[in-house]
Structure 1
Amino acid sequence: MCKISAVVLLIMFSFSSYANKMEVDELPDYQKRSGISDTISSVGSDTLASLITLWAQEFHNIYPNINMQIQASGSSTAPTALTEGTSQFGPMSRPMKAKEIEAFERQYGYPPVSLKVAIDAIGIFVHKDNPIKGLNFEQLDAIFSSTMQCGGTKPLDRWQQLGIQSDWARLGFQLFGRNSVSGTYGYFKQHALCGGDFKRGVNEQPGSASVVQSVASSINSIGYSGIGYQVSKARLLPLARKGSDYVEPTRENILTGRYPLARYLYLYVNKDPLKPLPVSEAEFLKFIFSKQGQLGVEKDGYVPLSSELAKSELNKVGLEL
């Protein structure tokens, strides 16, 4: 059975002290400043693409002279862009690796600043007409992994092996997931497959939305993606760490740590500890952690931060709400 690390469990169970609607309402409204005009670029996570775009559009509505440039090719592109100075912000659905931080430090003499901006969960999607009730980690391991390090004893190749009686259940799984530059790929590999290898038959997609759309197009398909990407013809499955004690990926279950595939989403920033951020970058961050910014998190299908956490994250770059 998959072993969740103590650090992951600590993070997941600490969610219970975080955001709820009342706490988001406690965040201050964003206060507009005069004379803001600049070009701001963001390179990184596809999972965060929709949310970054939403923030950028709302920020542009406040400051029409702000030009936001967004590139979402995967979390692994963020550290390079920050290090090379081709972007001011690096959204990532995973923490930076030690070697990525080291490369940045060699360039600038200080580490990048990591800001938690939202809480996400990885969902397992099937076609809406698939009658499966749920899956546990051992089954996920046997479906997606060739090495089965999470307790699987034999590969699962078709829905019939899970008790589905429909005619199509004799067909092999159509497996969909993210490509290797994605933080979602790395998170799922580490936590759902216990670091094991994916099967060669997993169809790697460049974006989260394309995973869910692919699943929606075929009755025998299954894929993993961020839960913020839902369509009418795909269904999110409840999951269990073991057995059949399935947990739905609801907001409450994510906050309490009951849902087993939850994570923070990050925004990395190049902040010289001896200098203030440029005004346009500072104001964009203040907007993200304001009431409007965190309501955008909720609107986009993720879980917003509490007012306490939002304030502490913003303080990392010398700013206050």
Structure 2
Amino acid sequence: MKSLSNKSGLLLTTILVFISPVTLANDVTEIGLVAIEPNMEALVEDLLKSQEIDLELLLSDSVPEQMIMQRSRVGITAKKWTDKEMARFDMRYGYRPTELLFTADVIAILANEDNPATSITVAELIDVFGCSNDPKHPKWSPTSDARNGESLDTHMLPFAINHNLKGHTTFSSWVECGADGEYAHTQFLSDLPHLINKIEDEEAAIGYTVYSDQISDVKWLSVVDNLGVNYDLNKETILSGRYPLATVYYMYLNIPAHRKGFTEQEKFFIGLTLSEDHQEVLNQYGFISLPPEAIQRNKVRLSLEEPAIEGGYK
């Protein structure tokens, strides 16, 4: 078992502001592994490296099971625990796990500034970027919120960045070709600047990319889900689970109800949910940092602050 160490001490110092008294763990084997879904491995490893922490990860498609069976005290998963899983955990430990918002992976859809379209449906995205033995080549169609009902009377020109979807399992299942004979019309480019240039040069262009602050000056299309509801790309729609091209990730902690303070391992992972300091690492993988409202929610869940308003992210 690898030991937990923090050579920089910067993040742990920040957490001490919120937590007192502090309970420390001398042996990380008493705490257990950190259970994460396999597609999160590269991101979590880089977050650990950014604080010079060396810690073994447990990759699992069933994070709740690892925590219920005492193989892990910290878990990161895109699957909200079911009532049955919560009940099993409660039966074993006598309390429920603490649930925090952690991050979300996000796909943004880009279009030329002169394109009158302002939104696109999930079905249209699958048509234009999807793989098939006979892929479709759809035209731009007028949308309810397009300028004066205008549309480009031309086929969509799809672009993307090569190998840009690591960790984004839902969207990649739509657009990555696997079976023999499957292909897509998408033209793949080497990096984000090339993609942005293509979008700006071609009026009929459409592109997808993982979320990054670098695309803030490019036109984003809102996305219409399968029920016909239109969602803009912003952190509120993302973290509430409504934006169709995002997956929200939660952090679950096994923190005994009677215990005051946190172990060193818990302090590190809790720290990831209480600030935007790690935004650069998250953005490299197309994940978002938490906005102040979500950080406030996490502090309330940890009993570090009293609730200020009702509602928020569910």
Secondary structure (helix, strand or coil) at the match of 1:292 reads coil
Distance (whole Å) between structure 1 residues aligned to residue 237 and residue 103 of structure 2:
16
The residue aligned with 1:108 is 93
Residue of structure 2 equivalent to 1:44: 36
| Deviation string, structure 1 residues 132-180 (Cα, Å, up to 9, x no partner) | x995234468899xxxxxxxxxxx87323636999xxxxxxxxxx99xx
SS state at 2:288 partner: coil
Letter in 1 for 2:254: N
Asked if 1:313 is matched to 2:298, the reply is yes
1:68 alignment partner, SS class: coil
The runs of 5 or more residues in structure 1 that have no matched partner are 1-27, 125-132, 145-155, 167-176, 189-201, 205-210, 223-229
Partners of 1:58 and 1:316 in 2: CA distance: 26
What number of residue pairs does the alignment pair up? 227
Matched, 1:283 2:267: yes
The one-letter amino acid paired with 1:241 is V
Return 5+ residue gaps in structure 2 as ranges: 1-9, 17-21, 110-117, 141-153, 156-164, 196-206, 210-220, 306-314
Whichever residue aligns with residue 292 of structure 1, its letter is D
CA distance in 2 between counterparts of 1:81 and 1:304 reads 26
Give the corresponding residue for 1:274. Answer: 258
Greater Rg over alpha carbons, structure: 2
Is structure 2 residue 86 aligned with structure 1 residue 97?
no
* Aligned twin of 1:220: 184
- Equivalence map 1:77-156=2 (5 Å): 77-121=62-106, 136-139=121-124
C-alpha distance in 2 between matches for 1:318 and 1:253: 25
1:236 equivalenced with 2:208 (yes/no): yes
Taking the aligned partners of 2:266 and 2:82, their CA distance within structure 1 comes to 25
How far apart in 2 are the matches of 1:78 and 1:300?
21
The structure whose residues are more often helix, as a share, is 1
CA change 1:97–1:135 in 2 (3 A) is same
Q: Does 1:158 align with 2:105?
A: no
Q: How does 1:54-69 map to 2 (within 5 A)?
A: 54-59=46-51, 61=52, 67-69=54-56
After superposition, residues 163-174 of structure 1 pair within 5 angstroms as: none
> Residue 277 of structure 2 aligns to a residue in which SS?
helix
Deviation sequence 1:200-242 (CA, Å, 0-9, x none): xx979xxxxxx86969xx85288xxxxxxx9749952756317
Of 77-86 and 108-117, deviating more is: 108-117
Q: Secondary structure at the match of 1:159?
A: coil
Give the TM-score normalised by structure 1: 0.51
- Once the two structures are TM-superposed, the CA of residue 279 in structure 1 deviates from its matched residue by 1.9
Per-residue deviation, 1:114: 0.9
Cα distance in structure 1, aligned partners of 2:58 and 2:80: 19
By how many angstroms is 1:95 displaced? 1.4
Q: Greater relative contact order: 1 or 2 (C-alpha under 8 angstroms, separation 6 or more)?
A: 1
Q: CA RMSD in A?
A: 5.2
User: Does residue 264 of the first structure (1) align with residue 248 of the second (2)?
Assistant: yes
1:296 deviation in Å? 3.5
